[in-house]
Amino acid sequence: VSAEAGPKDALELHGSRILIGTGLLDECGAEVRAALPRRRLAIITDETVAPLYAARLAAACGAPAPPAFTIPAGEPSKTRKQWSRLTDELLAAGFGRDSAILALGGGVVGDLAGFVAATYMRGIPVVQLPTTLLAMIDAAIGGKTGVNTKAGKNLVGAFHHPSLVIADPRALRTLPVAHVRNGLAEAIKHGVIASPADFVWLATNVAAIVREGGPGDEIAERLVRRNVQLKSDIVARDAREAGVRKILNFGHTIGHAVESLGGYGMPHGECVAIGMVVEARIAAKAGIGDPGLADVIAQVLRDAALPVALPSAMTPDAVLAATRSDKKARGGSVEYALPAKLGVMAGAERGFGIPVPDSVVLRVLAESS
Ligand X SMILES: NC(=O)c1ccc[n+]([C@@H]2O[C@H](COP(=O)([O-])OP(=O)(O)OC[C@H]3O[C@@H](n4cnc5c(N)ncnc54)[C@H](O)[C@@H]3O)[C@@H](O)[C@H]2O)c1
CA distance to 218, 239, 307, 309, per residue, from 365 (Å): 39, 33, 15, 9
| 231 noted as active-site residue | yes
- Sequence-separated (6 or more) residues with CB below 8 Å from residue 153: 264
Angle between helix axes 196-209 and 293-303 (nearest 10 degrees) is 20
**Does the footprint of ligand X cover residue 244 (CB under 6 A)?**
no
Write out the E strands in 132-277.
144-149, 152-159, 164-167
Close Cβ partners of 50 (under 8 Å, ≥ 6 residues apart): 68, 70
138 lies in the binding site for ligand X (CB under 6 A): yes
Q: How many residues bind ligand X (CB under 6 A)?
A: 29
Site for ligand X in 32-71 (CB under 6 A): 46, 48-49, 52
| Residue 128 in the binding site for ligand X (CB under 6 A) | no
2 lies in the site for ligand X, by CB under 6 A? no
The answer to whether residue 81 is catalytic is no
Return the axis-axis angle of helices 358-367 and 316-324, rounded to nearest 10°.
130
84 binds ligand X (CB under 6 A): no
Does residue 78 touch ligand X according to CB under 6 A?
yes
Closest listed residue to residue 136, CA positions, set 80, 214, 192: 214
56 is catalytic: no
Q: Pick the catalytic residue: 249, 270, 279, 285?
A: 249
Q: Which of 38, 122, 150, 240 is catalytic?
A: 122
Radius of gyration for the chain, computed over Cα atoms and rounded to the nearest angstrom: 20
Q: Which of 118, 127, 134, 364 binds ligand X (CB under 6 A)?
A: 134
Q: Which of 39, 245, 281, 285 is catalytic?
A: 245
Does position 13 interact with ligand X (CB under 6 A)? The reply is no
Residue 221 engages ligand X in binding (rule: CB under 6 A) = no
- Phi and psi at residue 132, to the nearest 5°: -105, 160
CB of 110 to ligand X, least distance (A): 6
Q: Which of 252, 281, 285, 341 is catalytic?
A: 252
Of 228, 226, 246, nearest to 330 by C-alpha is 246
* Residues lying near ligand X in the complex (CB under 6 A): 46, 48-49, 52, 73-75, 78, 105-109, 111, 131-132, 134-135, 138-139, 142, 144, 153-154, 171, 174-175, 179, 182
Kindly list the catalytic residues: 122, 144, 186, 231, 241, 245, 249, 252, 256, 268
